[in-house]
Protein backbone atom coordinates (compact mmCIF):
# COMPACT_ATOMS: atom_id res chain seq x y z
CA UNK A 1 0.00 0.00 0.00
CA UNK A 2 2.90 2.38 0.82
CA UNK A 3 4.45 1.59 -2.53
CA UNK A 4 1.21 2.42 -4.33
CA UNK A 5 0.86 5.64 -2.30
CA UNK A 6 4.42 6.58 -3.25
CA UNK A 7 3.59 6.02 -6.90
CA UNK A 8 0.45 8.13 -6.59
CA UNK A 9 2.36 10.90 -4.84
CA UNK A 10 5.05 10.61 -7.49
CA UNK A 11 2.52 11.19 -10.25
CA UNK A 12 1.18 14.19 -8.37
CA UNK A 13 4.66 15.59 -7.94
CA UNK A 14 5.36 15.20 -11.63
CA UNK A 15 2.14 17.01 -12.52
CA UNK A 16 3.17 19.82 -10.15
CA UNK A 17 6.57 19.75 -11.79
CA UNK A 18 4.94 20.23 -15.17
CA UNK A 19 3.16 23.32 -13.88
CA UNK A 20 6.36 24.62 -12.34
CA UNK A 21 8.19 23.82 -15.55
CA UNK A 22 5.76 25.89 -17.57
CA UNK A 23 6.19 28.82 -15.18
CA UNK A 24 9.93 28.33 -15.36
CA UNK A 25 9.85 28.43 -19.14
CA UNK A 26 7.72 31.56 -19.10
CA UNK A 27 10.19 33.27 -16.76
CA UNK A 28 13.10 32.31 -18.95
CA UNK A 29 11.39 33.52 -22.09
CA UNK A 30 10.67 36.82 -20.33
CA UNK A 31 14.26 37.05 -19.17
CA UNK A 32 15.50 36.45 -22.69
CA UNK A 33 13.84 39.62 -23.85
CA UNK A 34 14.73 41.74 -20.81
CA UNK A 35 18.09 40.74 -19.35
CA UNK A 36 19.81 37.95 -21.29
CA UNK A 37 22.53 36.23 -19.29
CA UNK A 38 24.97 36.54 -22.18
CA UNK A 39 24.85 39.20 -24.89
CA UNK A 40 24.05 37.92 -28.34
CA UNK A 41 26.78 38.80 -30.78
CA UNK A 42 24.36 39.40 -33.59
CA UNK A 43 24.91 42.25 -35.93
CA UNK A 44 21.26 42.67 -36.88
CA UNK A 45 17.96 42.60 -34.92
CA UNK A 46 16.78 39.67 -37.06
CA UNK A 47 19.84 37.61 -36.12
CA UNK A 48 19.38 38.50 -32.46
CA UNK A 49 15.72 37.45 -32.57
CA UNK A 50 16.70 34.15 -34.22
CA UNK A 51 19.34 33.48 -31.55
CA UNK A 52 16.87 34.15 -28.74
CA UNK A 53 14.29 31.83 -30.35
CA UNK A 54 16.86 29.04 -30.63
CA UNK A 55 17.86 29.51 -26.98
CA UNK A 56 14.22 29.40 -25.90
CA UNK A 57 13.60 26.21 -27.88
CA UNK A 58 16.68 24.55 -26.36
CA UNK A 59 15.48 25.36 -22.85
CA UNK A 60 12.01 23.99 -23.66
CA UNK A 61 13.43 20.80 -25.13
CA UNK A 62 15.69 20.13 -22.17
CA UNK A 63 12.96 20.78 -19.62
CA UNK A 64 10.41 18.61 -21.43
CA UNK A 65 12.97 15.83 -21.81
CA UNK A 66 13.50 15.76 -18.04
CA UNK A 67 9.76 15.79 -17.38
CA UNK A 68 9.13 12.98 -19.85
CA UNK A 69 11.87 10.86 -18.28
CA UNK A 70 10.39 11.36 -14.84
CA UNK A 71 6.89 10.53 -16.07
CA UNK A 72 8.15 7.39 -17.78
CA UNK A 73 9.80 6.29 -14.56
CA UNK A 74 6.60 6.87 -12.59
CA UNK A 75 4.41 4.99 -15.06
CA UNK A 76 6.90 2.13 -15.19
CA UNK A 77 6.67 1.82 -11.42
CA UNK A 78 2.88 2.03 -11.67
CA UNK A 79 2.79 -0.83 -14.20
CA UNK A 80 5.03 -2.91 -11.96
CA UNK A 81 2.67 -2.33 -9.06
CA UNK A 82 -0.28 -3.54 -11.11
CA UNK A 83 1.64 -6.59 -12.28
CA UNK A 84 2.97 -7.42 -8.84
CA UNK A 85 6.62 -7.33 -9.84
CA UNK A 86 7.61 -4.20 -7.91
CA UNK A 87 10.46 -4.55 -5.44
CA UNK A 88 8.47 -3.05 -2.59
CA UNK A 89 4.98 -3.74 -3.86
CA UNK A 90 2.90 -6.89 -3.71
CA UNK A 91 4.67 -9.97 -4.95
CA UNK A 92 3.55 -11.87 -8.01
CA UNK A 93 2.41 -14.73 -5.80
CA UNK A 94 0.25 -12.49 -3.63
CA UNK A 95 -1.51 -11.01 -6.64
CA UNK A 96 -2.06 -14.48 -8.07
CA UNK A 97 -3.59 -15.55 -4.75
CA UNK A 98 -5.83 -12.59 -4.00
CA UNK A 99 -6.91 -11.81 -7.57
CA UNK A 100 -8.12 -8.47 -8.82
CA UNK A 101 -10.75 -7.67 -6.18
CA UNK A 102 -8.58 -8.49 -3.18
CA UNK A 103 -5.71 -6.60 -4.70
CA UNK A 104 -7.90 -3.54 -5.18
CA UNK A 105 -9.27 -3.81 -1.65
CA UNK A 106 -5.76 -3.56 -0.20
CA UNK A 107 -5.43 -0.09 -1.70
CA UNK A 108 -8.92 1.00 -0.64
CA UNK A 109 -7.80 3.26 2.25
CA UNK A 110 -6.10 5.62 -0.19
CA UNK A 111 -8.95 5.70 -2.72
CA UNK A 112 -12.41 7.14 -2.94
CA UNK A 113 -15.10 5.05 -4.64
CA UNK A 114 -14.58 6.38 -8.22
CA UNK A 115 -10.80 5.97 -7.93
CA UNK A 116 -11.14 2.46 -6.60
CA UNK A 117 -13.49 1.51 -9.45
CA UNK A 118 -11.06 2.99 -11.95
CA UNK A 119 -8.23 0.99 -10.41
CA UNK A 120 -10.23 -2.24 -10.54
CA UNK A 121 -11.24 -1.65 -14.14
CA UNK A 122 -7.67 -0.80 -15.14
CA UNK A 123 -6.27 -3.88 -13.48
CA UNK A 124 -8.93 -6.09 -15.04
CA UNK A 125 -8.20 -4.66 -18.49
CA UNK A 126 -4.47 -5.19 -17.93
CA UNK A 127 -5.05 -8.85 -17.03
CA UNK A 128 -7.38 -9.38 -19.97
CA UNK A 129 -4.90 -7.82 -22.40
CA UNK A 130 -2.10 -10.03 -21.08
CA UNK A 131 -4.23 -13.15 -21.54
CA UNK A 132 -5.23 -12.19 -25.08
CA UNK A 133 -1.64 -11.33 -26.01
CA UNK A 134 -0.35 -14.61 -24.55
CA UNK A 135 -2.93 -16.70 -26.41
CA UNK A 136 -2.22 -14.81 -29.62
CA UNK A 137 1.47 -15.69 -29.29
CA UNK A 138 0.62 -19.34 -28.62
CA UNK A 139 -1.61 -19.54 -31.69
CA UNK A 140 1.09 -17.95 -33.85
CA UNK A 141 3.77 -20.33 -32.59
CA UNK A 142 1.51 -23.32 -33.20
CA UNK A 143 0.96 -22.23 -36.81
CA UNK A 144 4.71 -21.82 -37.25
CA UNK A 145 5.27 -25.25 -35.71
CA UNK A 146 2.81 -26.82 -38.12
CA UNK A 147 4.60 -25.19 -41.05
CA UNK A 148 7.99 -26.46 -39.89
CA UNK A 149 6.57 -29.95 -39.34
CA UNK A 150 5.36 -29.93 -42.94
CA UNK A 151 8.82 -28.88 -44.10
CA UNK A 152 10.36 -31.74 -42.13
CA UNK A 153 7.97 -34.23 -43.71
CA UNK A 154 8.78 -32.86 -47.17
CA UNK A 155 12.49 -32.98 -46.43
CA UNK A 156 12.28 -36.63 -45.45
CA UNK A 157 11.14 -37.32 -49.01
CA UNK A 158 13.99 -35.46 -50.70
CA UNK A 159 17.76 -35.80 -50.99
CA UNK A 160 18.77 -32.14 -51.22
CA UNK A 161 17.03 -28.98 -50.11
CA UNK A 162 17.69 -25.93 -52.32
CA UNK A 163 17.50 -22.51 -50.76
CA UNK A 164 16.06 -19.54 -52.59
CA UNK A 165 19.19 -17.46 -52.17
CA UNK A 166 21.32 -20.00 -54.02
CA UNK A 167 22.82 -22.02 -51.18
CA UNK A 168 22.35 -25.72 -50.70
CA UNK A 169 22.23 -27.96 -47.65
CA UNK A 170 22.24 -31.70 -47.50
CA UNK A 171 19.02 -33.29 -46.36
CA UNK A 172 20.50 -34.24 -42.99
CA UNK A 173 21.77 -30.70 -42.39
CA UNK A 174 18.42 -29.20 -43.31
CA UNK A 175 16.61 -31.67 -41.06
CA UNK A 176 18.88 -30.73 -38.17
CA UNK A 177 18.16 -27.05 -38.72
CA UNK A 178 14.40 -27.60 -38.91
CA UNK A 179 14.40 -29.86 -35.87
CA UNK A 180 16.27 -27.26 -33.82
CA UNK A 181 13.73 -24.63 -34.84
CA UNK A 182 10.90 -26.98 -33.93
CA UNK A 183 12.40 -27.65 -30.51
CA UNK A 184 12.81 -23.93 -29.88
CA UNK A 185 9.17 -23.26 -30.76
CA UNK A 186 7.99 -26.07 -28.50
CA UNK A 187 10.05 -24.62 -25.68
CA UNK A 188 8.47 -21.19 -26.20
CA UNK A 189 4.98 -22.70 -26.20
CA UNK A 190 5.73 -24.62 -23.00
CA UNK A 191 6.88 -21.45 -21.26
CA UNK A 192 3.69 -19.63 -22.30
CA UNK A 193 1.65 -22.59 -21.05
CA UNK A 194 3.32 -22.20 -17.65
CA UNK A 195 2.38 -18.52 -17.63
CA UNK A 196 -1.22 -19.50 -18.34
CA UNK A 197 -1.11 -22.12 -15.58
CA UNK A 198 0.19 -19.51 -13.12
CA UNK A 199 -2.69 -17.19 -14.07
CA UNK A 200 -5.12 -19.18 -11.94
CA UNK A 201 -8.29 -18.14 -10.20
CA UNK A 202 -9.81 -19.57 -7.03
CA UNK A 203 -13.07 -21.49 -7.35
CA UNK A 204 -14.29 -23.07 -4.12
CA UNK A 205 -11.54 -25.51 -3.12
CA UNK A 206 -9.63 -25.34 -6.40
CA UNK A 207 -7.03 -23.28 -8.15
CA UNK A 208 -8.29 -23.21 -11.74
CA UNK A 209 -6.37 -22.22 -14.88
CA UNK A 210 -7.23 -22.20 -18.55
CA UNK A 211 -4.25 -23.44 -20.54
CA UNK A 212 -4.82 -23.14 -24.29
CA UNK A 213 -8.43 -24.23 -24.00
CA UNK A 214 -7.95 -26.97 -21.38
CA UNK A 215 -9.16 -26.31 -17.84
CA UNK A 216 -6.54 -27.38 -15.32
CA UNK A 217 -7.87 -27.87 -11.80
CA UNK A 218 -5.59 -28.08 -8.76
CA UNK A 219 -7.19 -28.90 -5.43
CA UNK A 220 -6.35 -26.70 -2.47
CA UNK A 221 -6.18 -29.91 -0.45
CA UNK A 222 -3.12 -30.85 -2.49
CA UNK A 223 -1.53 -27.42 -2.95
CA UNK A 224 -1.14 -24.81 -0.24
CA UNK A 225 -1.35 -21.05 -0.68
CA UNK A 226 1.54 -19.32 -2.48
CA UNK A 227 4.61 -18.16 -0.61
CA UNK A 228 6.86 -15.17 -1.19
CA UNK A 229 9.98 -15.47 -3.33
CA UNK A 230 12.31 -15.41 -0.32
CA UNK A 231 10.54 -18.31 1.45
CA UNK A 232 12.39 -21.58 0.89
CA UNK A 233 11.03 -23.75 3.67
CA UNK A 234 7.46 -24.79 4.40
CA UNK A 235 5.58 -27.68 5.93
CA UNK A 236 2.86 -29.79 4.40
CA UNK A 237 1.74 -29.44 0.80
CA UNK A 238 3.72 -27.64 -1.88
CA UNK A 239 2.81 -23.95 -2.39
CA UNK A 240 0.89 -23.57 -5.63
CA UNK A 241 3.29 -21.00 -7.08
CA UNK A 242 6.38 -23.15 -6.43
CA UNK A 243 4.68 -26.24 -7.87
CA UNK A 244 4.09 -24.36 -11.12
CA UNK A 245 7.35 -22.41 -11.25
CA UNK A 246 9.51 -25.52 -10.91
CA UNK A 247 7.44 -27.72 -13.22
CA UNK A 248 9.21 -28.56 -16.47
CA UNK A 249 7.63 -26.64 -19.36
CA UNK A 250 8.10 -29.80 -21.43
CA UNK A 251 5.99 -31.79 -18.96
CA UNK A 252 3.18 -29.26 -19.23
CA UNK A 253 3.49 -29.28 -23.02
CA UNK A 254 3.08 -33.08 -23.05
CA UNK A 255 0.03 -32.84 -20.79
CA UNK A 256 -1.55 -30.16 -22.96
CA UNK A 257 -0.88 -31.74 -26.33
CA UNK A 258 -2.25 -35.13 -25.32
CA UNK A 259 -5.28 -33.51 -23.67
CA UNK A 260 -6.02 -31.55 -26.83
CA UNK A 261 -5.56 -34.61 -29.04
CA UNK A 262 -8.09 -36.48 -26.87
CA UNK A 263 -10.54 -33.53 -26.91
CA UNK A 264 -10.52 -33.30 -23.13
CA UNK A 265 -12.27 -30.40 -21.46
CA UNK A 266 -10.70 -30.52 -18.00
CA UNK A 267 -7.84 -32.21 -16.17
CA UNK A 268 -7.45 -32.34 -12.40
CA UNK A 269 -3.92 -32.78 -11.08
CA UNK A 270 -2.82 -33.52 -7.53
CA UNK A 271 0.95 -33.00 -7.88
CA UNK A 272 3.30 -31.14 -10.21
CA UNK A 273 6.74 -30.22 -8.92
CA UNK A 274 7.38 -31.01 -5.29
CA UNK A 275 10.49 -31.19 -3.16
CA UNK A 276 11.38 -34.86 -3.58
CA UNK A 277 14.66 -36.71 -3.85
CA UNK A 278 13.05 -40.06 -4.70
CA UNK A 279 10.65 -39.24 -7.55
CA UNK A 280 10.51 -37.45 -10.89
CA UNK A 281 8.48 -34.69 -9.23
CA UNK A 282 11.69 -33.36 -7.71
CA UNK A 283 13.07 -32.54 -11.17
CA UNK A 284 9.75 -31.21 -12.46
CA UNK A 285 9.29 -34.15 -14.84
CA UNK A 286 6.36 -35.81 -13.08
CA UNK A 287 2.63 -35.04 -13.10
CA UNK A 288 -0.11 -36.79 -11.11
CA UNK A 289 -3.58 -36.81 -12.69
CA UNK A 290 -6.58 -37.71 -10.55
CA UNK A 291 -9.45 -37.04 -12.96
CA UNK A 292 -10.27 -35.94 -16.52
CA UNK A 293 -13.49 -34.76 -18.13
CA UNK A 294 -14.65 -34.99 -21.72
CA UNK A 295 -18.13 -33.70 -22.39
CA UNK A 296 -20.40 -35.05 -19.66
CA UNK A 297 -18.11 -37.97 -18.81
CA UNK A 298 -15.56 -37.84 -15.99
CA UNK A 299 -13.16 -40.63 -15.16
CA UNK A 300 -11.31 -40.71 -11.85
CA UNK A 301 -8.04 -42.63 -11.67
CA UNK A 302 -9.07 -44.36 -8.48
CA UNK A 303 -10.65 -47.75 -7.88
CA UNK A 304 -10.40 -47.79 -4.10
CA UNK A 305 -14.18 -47.53 -3.81
CA UNK A 306 -15.01 -49.66 -6.82
CA UNK A 307 -14.46 -49.82 -10.54
CA UNK A 308 -15.58 -47.04 -12.90
CA UNK A 309 -18.31 -47.48 -15.49
CA UNK A 310 -17.54 -49.11 -18.82
CA UNK A 311 -17.60 -45.71 -20.55
CA UNK A 312 -15.27 -44.16 -17.98
CA UNK A 313 -12.91 -47.13 -18.20
CA UNK A 314 -12.83 -46.78 -21.99
CA UNK A 315 -11.85 -43.12 -21.63
CA UNK A 316 -9.19 -44.13 -19.11
CA UNK A 317 -7.76 -46.56 -21.67
CA UNK A 318 -7.58 -43.81 -24.31
CA UNK A 319 -5.72 -41.51 -21.95
CA UNK A 320 -3.34 -44.15 -20.66
CA UNK A 321 -2.45 -45.37 -24.16
CA UNK A 322 -1.94 -41.83 -25.45
CA UNK A 323 0.60 -41.03 -22.76
CA UNK A 324 2.48 -44.33 -22.83
CA UNK A 325 2.77 -44.13 -26.64
CA UNK A 326 4.17 -40.59 -26.46
CA UNK A 327 7.94 -40.92 -27.07
CA UNK A 328 8.60 -38.15 -24.55
CA UNK A 329 6.95 -40.15 -21.73
CA UNK A 330 8.99 -42.78 -19.89
CA UNK A 331 6.43 -44.03 -17.32
CA UNK A 332 2.66 -44.31 -16.94
CA UNK A 333 1.50 -45.70 -13.60
CA UNK A 334 -2.14 -45.93 -12.47
CA UNK A 335 -4.50 -48.17 -10.44
CA UNK A 336 -4.85 -50.64 -13.33
CA UNK A 337 -1.45 -50.85 -15.02
CA UNK A 338 2.20 -49.93 -14.44
CA UNK A 339 4.59 -49.49 -17.34
CA UNK A 340 8.09 -48.07 -17.60
CA UNK A 341 10.17 -47.57 -20.76
CA UNK A 342 13.28 -46.40 -18.90
CA UNK A 343 16.32 -48.32 -20.22
CA UNK A 344 17.53 -50.76 -17.59
CA UNK A 345 14.43 -50.11 -15.46
CA UNK A 346 11.64 -51.17 -17.79
CA UNK A 347 8.62 -53.11 -16.59
CA UNK A 348 5.07 -53.79 -17.65
CA UNK A 349 2.56 -55.42 -15.29
CA UNK A 350 -0.99 -55.03 -13.93
CA UNK A 351 -1.63 -53.20 -10.68
CA UNK A 352 -3.04 -55.62 -8.11
CA UNK A 353 -2.67 -53.31 -5.13
CA UNK A 354 -5.63 -54.92 -3.34
CA UNK A 355 -3.75 -58.23 -3.15
CA UNK A 356 -0.63 -56.46 -1.86
CA UNK A 357 -2.65 -54.72 0.81
CA UNK A 358 -4.29 -57.96 1.93
CA UNK A 359 -1.02 -59.86 2.00
CA UNK A 360 1.39 -57.32 3.54
CA UNK A 361 -0.33 -54.38 5.23
CA UNK A 362 -3.57 -55.68 6.72
CA UNK A 363 -1.91 -58.52 8.69
CA UNK A 364 0.35 -56.03 10.51
CA UNK A 365 -2.36 -53.40 11.01
CA UNK A 366 -0.94 -50.74 8.67
CA UNK A 367 -3.61 -48.68 6.93
CA UNK A 368 -3.26 -47.40 3.38
CA UNK A 369 -3.30 -43.82 4.65
CA UNK A 370 -0.49 -44.57 7.07
CA UNK A 371 1.44 -46.24 4.26
CA UNK A 372 1.14 -43.15 2.05
CA UNK A 373 2.50 -40.88 4.79
CA UNK A 374 5.45 -43.09 5.68
CA UNK A 375 9.03 -42.68 4.48
CA UNK A 376 10.37 -44.38 1.40
CA UNK A 377 12.52 -46.90 3.37
CA UNK A 378 9.60 -47.76 5.64
CA UNK A 379 7.27 -48.32 2.69
CA UNK A 380 9.75 -50.71 1.13
CA UNK A 381 10.28 -52.57 4.39
CA UNK A 382 6.55 -53.24 4.79
CA UNK A 383 6.39 -54.93 1.35
CA UNK A 384 9.49 -57.08 1.74
CA UNK A 385 11.70 -54.50 -0.03
CA UNK A 386 9.93 -55.15 -3.32
CA UNK A 387 9.76 -51.94 -5.39
CA UNK A 388 7.09 -53.30 -7.72
CA UNK A 389 4.75 -53.96 -4.78
CA UNK A 390 5.39 -50.48 -3.42
CA UNK A 391 4.48 -49.00 -6.82
CA UNK A 392 1.17 -50.84 -6.80
CA UNK A 393 0.18 -49.28 -3.50
CA UNK A 394 1.42 -45.78 -4.36
CA UNK A 395 -0.42 -45.51 -7.67
CA UNK A 396 -3.79 -46.86 -6.61
CA UNK A 397 -5.46 -43.42 -6.68
CA UNK A 398 -3.94 -41.45 -9.57
CA UNK A 399 -2.25 -41.62 -12.96
CA UNK A 400 1.41 -40.68 -12.78
CA UNK A 401 3.37 -39.75 -15.90
CA UNK A 402 7.13 -39.27 -16.04
CA UNK A 403 9.07 -37.64 -18.85
CA UNK A 404 12.43 -38.83 -20.11
Q: What is the pTM of this model?
A: 0.70
Q: Which residue has the higher pLDDT, 384 or 110?
A: 384
pLDDT in tens, 189-203: 999 999 999 999 999
The lowest-confidence range among 161-165, 187-191, 257-261, 395-399 is 161-165
Number of residues assigned to the chain: 404
Average pLDDT over residues 351-365: 98
- Tens digits of residue pLDDT in 332-343: 999 999 999 999
Binning pLDDT at 50, 70 and 90, where does residue 68 land? confident
* Residue 110 predicted with pLDDT over 50: yes
pLDDT of amino acid 78 = 60
**What pLDDT, on a 0 to 100 scale, did the predictor assign at position 260?**
98
236-268 b/e with 16+ CB inside 10 Å = b?
A: ebbbbbbbbbbbbbbbbbbbbbbbeebebebbb
pLDDT of 134 higher than 70: yes
Q: What is the pLDDT of residues 158-184, one digit of tens each?
A: 755 444 434 455 678 888 999 999 999
Q: pLDDT above 90 covers what percent of the chain?
A: 60
| Distance from C-alpha of 221 to C-alpha of 368, rounded to nearest angstrom | 18
Strand pairing category for 337-340 and 238-239: unpaired
Q: How many other CB atoms are found less than 10 A from the CB of residue 133?
A: 10
Residue 245 clears pLDDT 80, i.e. is over it:
yes
Q: Which residue has the higher pLDDT, 284 or 158?
A: 284
User: What contacts 189, CB < 8 A, 6 or more positions away?
Assistant: 138, 141, 142, 145, 253
Res. 80 pLDDT band, cuts 50 70 90: low
Q: Please give the average per-residue pLDDT across 231-250, as a whole number.
A: 95
Range with the poorest average pLDDT among 54-63, 184-193, 239-248, 387-396: 54-63
- What 131-134 contacts at long range (C-beta under 8 Å, 24+ apart), as own/partner pairs, is 131/196, 131/199, 134/192, 134/195, 134/196
Give me the chain's average pLDDT, please: 83
392, 334 contact by CB (below 8 A): no
Mean pLDDT of 251-276: 98
Amino acid sequence: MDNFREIGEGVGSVLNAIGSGISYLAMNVSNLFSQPGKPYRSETPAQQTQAMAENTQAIENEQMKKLEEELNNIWTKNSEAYAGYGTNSLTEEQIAEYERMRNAAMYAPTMDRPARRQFEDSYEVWQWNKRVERQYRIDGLKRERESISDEINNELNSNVYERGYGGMLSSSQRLTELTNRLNDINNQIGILYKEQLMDYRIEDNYYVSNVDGIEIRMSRRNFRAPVAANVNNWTGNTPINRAIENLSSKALLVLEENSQALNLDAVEVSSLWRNSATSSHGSGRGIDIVAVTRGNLTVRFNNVNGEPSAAARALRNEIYNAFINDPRVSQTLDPWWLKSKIPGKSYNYPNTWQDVNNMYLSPIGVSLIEYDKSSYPQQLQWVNNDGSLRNMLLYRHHLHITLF
